[in-house]
Amino acid sequence: MNLVLQSTEITLETAGGKGASLHRLAAAGFDVPAFFVVSAEACRHHDGRVVPQPYLAAALSNALDQLGPGPYAVRSSGRAEDGAAHSHAGQFQTRLDVPASGVGAAIADVWASGFSEALDRYREATNAAPAEAPAIIVQQMVPARAAGVAFSADPVTGLRDRRVISAISGLGEALVSGEADGEDWQVATTGDMLASPTAPTVLTTEEVVEIAALAARTEAFFGTPQDIEWAIDDTGLHLLQSRPITTPLRPQPTPDNTLIVLDNSNIVESYPGIVSPLTYSFACFVYGRVYRAFVALLGVGPAEVNANAPVFDNLLARVDGRVYYNLGNWYRALALLPGFSRNRDHMETMMGVDEPLPSELRDTIGPPPATGMKRLAEAVRTLRVTAGLGWAALRLPVTKRRFETRLQTALATGKAPDRANLTELAATWRAIEADLLDRWDAPLINDFLCMMAFGASRKLLEAWAGPKGVALHNDVMIGQGDIVSAEPSRRIAEMGRMVASAGLAGNLVRDGRAALAGHPDIETAFDAYIARFGDRCTQELKLESITLDEDPTQLLAAIAASAARPAAPAADRAEPDWNAVIPDRPGRRRLARWITGYARARVRDRENLRFERTRIFGHARRVFLAMGREFWACGRLDAPRDIFHLTVDEVLGAIEGNALSTDLRAIVASRQADHRRHEDRPDPPERLVGHGAATLVRTRPGEEPPAETGDARIGTGCSAGRVTAPARVVRDPRVEHLASGEILVARNTDPGWIAVFSNAAAIVVERGSLLSHSAIVARELGIPCVVGIKGATDWVPDGARLTVDGETGEVRLADDTQ
């Protein structure tokens, strides 16, 4: 046999595991740097020394001439090395950057490492085969810009649904040997990015995807998960070696091609940031319960409602503690009602969804084309549901009055939460379920009618009058005068005038509520505000939020800021000129005025009924806090507010005796650890797309749009007016305050921000739609407002002068802030 093996001589027996694998990979077209294999018989022991065979030098000289210029990498390739049972990783010597003159000596060193004491101990510990001389690989070095390892499955967790990549700048030997830490990435088999460095410097996302694909190709080639070494130079990606992963792996999961799309464009207004387990479970319960009841109310049969139970139970999702809409299930629920294709577009407008469902999912939702008797049955069903909707629309005023009566009765009935025991508190919650959540008819009917009327009226005016029609639509929605969400701003302004008249503005900031002592008129107004709007706090639908009743600091700051602001003249709102927008078509004009007026009324009622929702959530908050105090008092929780780390079922189960675990402290400790992990992670994107639930933790690389640049951006103008003023970026209004006359710039808002709105010269929000709370209240207060300015809180420097045009949607940085 030749000391330098010919291609036809390379086998596992002659070239060892690594050499045989590289030979197969190169023959299959993988980009493997050129190499040759030196036989294990190239050296021998003599008098305790490693002695090369006499004719090895000549064979090497000829082989190196054919291989090409160095430097070279000299590696071992034992028969047991890189096997499926034992990898022998790191047990043999490796020599890198070896010049041609040093290859012979390097071969001797690597050959000798096959008989080291360390290798003997490894073989003894792993029950591997006895020591034997290794073959030697001589390979051209890659002048690597980056190098590292990649696994086609996770060698730590055993998961087969991901590729794990570690990378380092330059040569990868320091990473492989453990001398240096690399950047770590995880890529799902679907292509979704599961984990990545916070600030990667070694690899681009495209290179990570290419390496993951290379690991997958090697697995497919060998038929078993692989551990590969790779390098990248100016010519591209190279495969240096590949061996089986020897740690135990889990079975390959069955492929799941179900497309799931999560979106939080709109729901982030109600549930911003990290949401507690109690709030999330409560929200899931409410959404599932009320929408199931809603479609039944409209005439969808019980069998069809029950068949879609998984749809209603999963309208929401939670990723890294943040709440999302499961968009596919919202479309499926809407498909139970007639006019799905038309209402689908209206729902997207109402929900503020920036982009529709991918066609891959969108085309699978909705009733299939009916034929024969099925067409007749579908027509009967459509007629029944349409009649149910029509009847519900006619009865809406009565339904709304009855709902409000039930609400008042439920809130006034039963023992006050702070004086009730656990059994009584559980009974109070069950009454909320039965009396309110199962009979949430008025808000849902109004919301659905609002969705249809708002969308239809806007499309009608756009079709008949173009941009003028859209502008008219916005004008008609302004200044309805009886939206409850605008009342806090008016009350704050009135209290501000009273405080300014009494000269208390400075005292209010310094002394808080105590500054009002001796001023009974202001105290009365303040207490009346708290009694009416105490639950309308920032992030008011999150049960864990601190209310104004508990801490009025935010309200006091808003009153003080209002006191420093000169009284603004009442806005003079002219009646929209319908004749100018739709001339010479009186029939169209009358129809447009009627449907737009109807939409306006539904928008008003939607906003007012949302306040009733706030009151119910406030009542639920008090009930659960009382439960937390009781659990704390009897030693089952370490603090009353620990209750927010439990789910509704866990809380009720602990009271009613059907809990799977009674160790509430252990559950809380686990959830608190989860919360800390969520806090350490950046906010996920607005939209997450994945195949199967396991891929929902991250979005695919490259899906996020590139950041906008320049001094102007265009969003959705929601409330007309043009203002230039200093901008104030507010991320948390509980700790950051808006001075009078500043432009509010926020990522998202909720109804509890009204104390901030009252002092804003204009409003700019990253998220939202024409039906967002911020847009509706801004129109009511006559404040210019633009929503949908992506990345505004990062783009606008705090204190910069900003020009906001609430009609065109343009937001522009002043020249002196560039």
Pick from 179-183, 219-223, 732-736, 762-766: least confident? 179-183
Categorize the per-residue pLDDT at 259 as very low, low, confident or very high, splitting at 50, 70 and 90: confident
Q: What number of other Cβ atoms are within 10 A of residue 355's Cβ?
A: 11
Task: Give 412: exposed, middle or buried? Use CB within 10 Å, 0-12, 13-18, 19+.
Answer: exposed
CA distances from 815 to 744, 762, 803, 818 (A): 19, 19, 10, 6
Mean pLDDT throughout 86-100? 70
Q: Helices H, strands E: what count in the chain?
A: 27, 24
Q: What does DSSP assign to residue 80? A: S
3-class secondary structure, 8: helix
Say what percent of the chain tops pLDDT 90. Answer: 40
State residue 694's pLDDT score: 57
Say what percent of the chain tops pLDDT 70. Answer: 88
Mean pLDDT throughout 437-443? 87
Q: Is the dihedral of CA 465, 466, 471, 477 positive or negative?
A: positive
Q: How far apart are CA 602 and CA 750, in angstroms?
A: 19
Mean pLDDT throughout 245-253? 83
User: Is residue 350 pLDDT above 80, yes or no?
Assistant: no
Mean pLDDT throughout 123-148? 78
Residue 811 host element (H or E): strand 810-813
pLDDT in tens, 687-722: 888 877 655 544 443 344 445 667 899 988 888 889
State residue 704's pLDDT score: 47
Q: Decide: 182 and 175 in contact? Cβ < 8 Å.
A: yes
Could you tell me the domains of the chain? Answer: 7-140 (3.30.1490.20), 146-244 (3.30.470.20), 258-379 (no CATH), 712-817 (3.50.30.10)
Q: Decide: 608 and 484 in contact? Cβ < 8 Å.
A: yes
The C-alpha angle with vertex 597 and arms to 591 and 598, in degrees rounded to 5, equals: 90
Q: Decide: 236 and 207 in contact? Cβ < 8 Å.
A: no
Categorize the per-residue pLDDT at 281 as very low, low, confident or very high, splitting at 50, 70 and 90: very high
State residue 88's pLDDT score: 43
Mean pLDDT throughout 230-242? 95
pLDDT in tens, 554-570: 888 889 888 887 766 55
459 against 257, higher pLDDT: 459
User: Is residue 100 pLDDT above 70, yes or no?
Assistant: yes
| Start-end of H helices in 195-324 | 205-222, 277-297, 302-307, 309-313
* Tokens 């078993």 -> residue: 224
State residue 152's pLDDT score: 96
Pick from 430-434, 494-498, 504-508, 770-774: least confident? 770-774
Q: How far apart are CA 448 and CA 605, in angstroms?
A: 12
State residue 479's pLDDT score: 56
State residue 658's pLDDT score: 92
Mean pLDDT throughout 309-317? 95
Q: How far apart are CA 767 and CA 790, in angstroms?
A: 7
What residues contact residue 339 under an 8 Å CB cut-off, 6+ apart? none
* Tokens 């047990």 -> residue: 91
Q: How far apart are CA 30 and CA 197, in angstroms?
A: 28
Which of 306, 365, 337 has its CA nearest to residue 449?
337
State residue 149's pLDDT score: 92
State residue 505's pLDDT score: 83
Task: Give 401: exposed, middle or buried? Use CB within 10 Å, 0-12, 13-18, 19+.
Answer: exposed
Q: How far apart are CA 246 and CA 84, in angstroms?
A: 6
State residue 494's pLDDT score: 92
Which of 344, 168, 278 has its CA nearest to residue 647?
278
User: Is residue 199 pLDDT above 50, yes or no?
Assistant: yes
Q: What does DSSP assign to residue 352? A: T
User: Is residue 481 pLDDT above 90, yes or no?
Assistant: no
Q: Decide: 799 and 779 in contact? Cβ < 8 Å.
A: no
Q: How far apart are CA 326 and CA 365, in angstroms?
A: 14
Pairing assessment for the beta strands 43-46 and 742-746 based on DSSP bridges = unpaired
Q: How many Cα atoms occupy the beta-carbon half-sphere of 593 within 13 Å?
A: 13
User: Is residue 435 pLDDT above 80, yes or no?
Assistant: yes
State residue 363's pLDDT score: 79
Q: How far apart are CA 547 and CA 534, in angstroms?
A: 6
User: Is residue 384 pLDDT above 60, yes or no?
Assistant: yes
Most confident of 115-129, 343-357, 669-683, 698-712: 669-683
Structure tokens at 801: 């002068």
Q: How many Cα atoms occupy the beta-carbon half-sphere of 424 within 13 Å?
A: 11
Pairing assessment for the beta strands 162-169 and 183-188 based on DSSP bridges = antiparallel
Task: Give 416: exposed, middle or buried? Use CB within 10 Å, 0-12, 13-18, 19+.
Answer: exposed
Categorize the per-residue pLDDT at 118 as very low, low, confident or very high, splitting at 50, 70 and 90: low
State residue 85's pLDDT score: 43
User: Is residue 123 pLDDT above 90, yes or no?
Assistant: no
Helix, strand and coil percent figures for the chain, each rounded to 5: 50, 15, 35
Residue-wise DSSP of 302-347: HHHHHHTHHHHHTSEEEETTEEEEEHHHHHHHHTTSS-HHHHHHHH
The distance in angstroms from the start CA to the end CA of the chain is 75
Categorize the per-residue pLDDT at 195 as very low, low, confident or very high, splitting at 50, 70 and 90: confident
Q: How far apart are CA 595 and CA 34, in angstroms?
A: 75
Mean pLDDT throughout 488-513? 88
What residues contact residue 384 under an 8 Å CB cut-off, 6+ apart? 299
What residues contact residue 95 under an 8 Å CB cut-off, 6+ apart? 73, 74, 75, 102, 106, 109, 110
Q: How far apart are CA 774 and CA 755, in angstroms?
A: 12
Average pLDDT, the chain: 85
Most confident of 80-89, 150-159, 478-487, 508-517: 150-159
CA diameter of the chain? 113
Which of 40, 37, 41 has its CA nearest to residue 18?
37
* Tokens 């808080």 -> residue: 512
Q: How far apart are CA 167 and CA 169, in angstroms?
A: 7
pLDDT in tens, 621-663: 999 999 999 999 999 999 999 999 999 999 999 999 999 888 9
What residues contact residue 359 under an 8 Å CB cut-off, 6+ apart? none
pLDDT in tens, 361-382: 877 887 666 666 777 777 777 7
State residue 30's pLDDT score: 97
Q: What number of other Cβ atoms are within 10 A of residue 761's Cβ?
A: 23
Q: How many Cα atoms occupy the beta-carbon half-sphere of 482 within 13 Å?
A: 7
3-class secondary structure, 38: strand
Q: What number of other Cβ atoms are within 10 A of residue 178's Cβ?
A: 8
Structure tokens at 646: 């439990």
Q: What number of other Cβ atoms are within 10 A of residue 378's Cβ?
A: 16
Pick from 264-273, 283-292, 339-348, 375-384: least confident? 339-348
Mean pLDDT throughout 471-475? 80
Is this structure's pTM higher than 0.85? Answer: no
Task: Give 637: exposed, middle or buried? Use CB within 10 Å, 0-12, 13-18, 19+.
Answer: buried
Categorize the per-residue pLDDT at 664 as very low, low, confident or very high, splitting at 50, 70 and 90: very high
Residue-wise DSSP of 746-809: ES---GGGHHHHTTEEEEEESS--TTSHHHHHHHHHT--EEE--TTHHHHSPTT-EEEEETTT-
User: Is residue 117 pLDDT above 70, yes or no?
Assistant: no
State residue 228's pLDDT score: 94
Q: Decide: 144 and 169 in contact? Cβ < 8 Å.
A: no
Q: How many Cα atoms occupy the beta-carbon half-sphere of 499 within 13 Å?
A: 33
Which of 701, 642, 686, 668 has its CA nearest to residue 790?
686
Structure tokens at 311: 């749809």
3-class secondary structure, 416: coil
Most confident of 111-125, 164-178, 693-707, 712-726: 712-726
Q: What number of other Cβ atoms are within 10 A of residue 124's Cβ?
A: 10
